[in-house]
Amino acid sequence: MTGGIRKPTEGEGEYIARIEYLRRKKVEEEKDREMAEETKRKRKELHFMHCPKCGMQLIEVDYKTLKIDRCSGCDGVWLDAGELEAAAGLDKGLLGRILGL
Ligand SMILES: [Zn+2]
pTM as predicted: 0.54
pLDDT at residue 2 greater than cutoff 70: no
Domain ranges of the chain: 9-48, 58-99
- How many A from CA of 22 to the centre of ligand 1? 47
- How many A from CA of 46 to the centre of ligand 1? 15
- How many A from CA of 61 to the centre of ligand 1? 15
* pLDDT tens sequence across 34-76: 999 999 999 999 999 999 999 999 999 988 788 889 999 999 9
38 vs 86, more confident = 38
What is the secondary structure of the chain as a DSSP string? ---SPPPPPHHHHHHHHHHHHHHHHHHHHHHHHHHHHHHHHHHHHHHTTB-TTT-PBEEEEEETTEEEEEETTT--EE--TTHHHHHHHH-HHHHHHHHT-
Specify the pLDDT at position 74: 96
Give the confidence band of 96 by pLDDT, cuts at 50, 70, 90.
low
pLDDT at residue 18 greater than cutoff 70: yes
